[in-house]
Amino acid sequence: MNERVMQFRIGLFVIVSGLVLTMMVVWFGETPSLLRDQVYLKVRYAEAPGVLEGVPVRKSGIRIGEVMAIAFDERPEQPDGVIVTLALERRYRLRKGSVPRLTRSLIGDVAIDMEPGTGEGFIETGKTPLTAPPPIEGQVAPDPSKALAAATKAFEKAGDTLESINAAAAGLSKLTKSADNLDRLLTTWNDTGQDVAGAAKNIRRLIDENGENFRDVIAKINDTLDPETQKALREGITRFSAAAGRIDAGIAQLDPALKDLGSPVKHTPTTDIGQGFRRLNLVLADLELLTRQLRAPGGGLNTEGSLQKLLVQTDLHDNLNRMALSANQAFVQLRAVLSTLRTFADKVASDPSSMTRGAFGRQ
């Protein structure tokens, strides 16, 4: 095959591949950003949750650009925030007063919507990210997930309200039934009143007919209750009243203690009796913890715990005994050493020159 023919075929293959690549870019995606005619705008947010490079920028639902870069706002004398650089297509111009609003969907998709402005003229942009004007302020839309959580809580409260309404309706129904019982009670009370009136008339008739007999009985009772008996009866009634008063006073003094005994567990007692019962409860709780550790799940003694091994295994007792004997011997030897040191110190204290006596003679 001729070399010129081979070069022609290679060149033709390169040209066809370029055309195919260009057609695929046009059909299946947007043109690279280097080939677009773009301008750049910086926006400042107090926070930018979920914003990444490539997040779309829309105006009235139409994509007009994307996020190019994200950085912290490190300008001096400025509060903390985030600077987001937007790459916008030059053909889409934004009127002054437009606000970049950061929105999030329920499924987590993030986008920046340019809300239309009402000012005169258009927002200044830069040909490169470095020549972009100072950032404009953006807004962050409320998180729909938080709104959904708040709505869930509201529905729960509405459910509680409906339960309260149902309870009130049930109470009203019971009240209606009680009204029927009240009518029967009033009817019964009226009949009882008529019976009482009839009984009172009969008693009055009986008193009128046997008035003399009643007077004789009352006179006999007066004769039976002589002054001394009446005095003793009055004293008994007085003493009974005094005893009842002392009982009431004692019950009033016991009221704080009774409140402590009937209060919840977290309540701090204010009386000695309450403090005593509280300490008793603590001791019983500690004993319950101890017995729970000593008790096996099957109901017998648990032999796997440290306390149980100390009580059951003889090897631990032997080791403790040997350790105690070793400690005792060490204390005995230490006592002899301390006695020798005490004797030496007494000698030195009584005759300090004895430490250097004869030292020069040995040299």
Q: How far apart are CA 131 and CA 40, in angstroms?
A: 8
What local confidence, expressed as pLDDT, does residue 305 receive?
61
Residue type, 187: T
Mean pLDDT, consecutive 10-residue stretches, the chain (363 aa), reads: 78 89 69 66 89 90 90 88 91 88 82 86 87 88 72 67 69 61 68 75 74 68 69 81 79 72 72 76 77 64 60 68 83 82 77 61 48
What local confidence, expressed as pLDDT, does residue 24 receive?
79
What local confidence, expressed as pLDDT, does residue 363 receive?
47
Q: How far apart are CA 38 and CA 25, in angstroms?
A: 18
What residue ranges do the domains of the chain occupy?
1-30, 36-141
Residue in 95, 34, 93 with CA at minimum distance from that of residue 68: 34
Residue type, 132: A
C-alpha neighbours within 13 Å on the C-beta side of residue 139: 10
**The model scores a pTM over 0.75:** no
Q: Given 3-state DSSP classes, what are the helix, strand and coil percentages for the chain, each rounded to the nearest 5?
A: 60, 15, 25
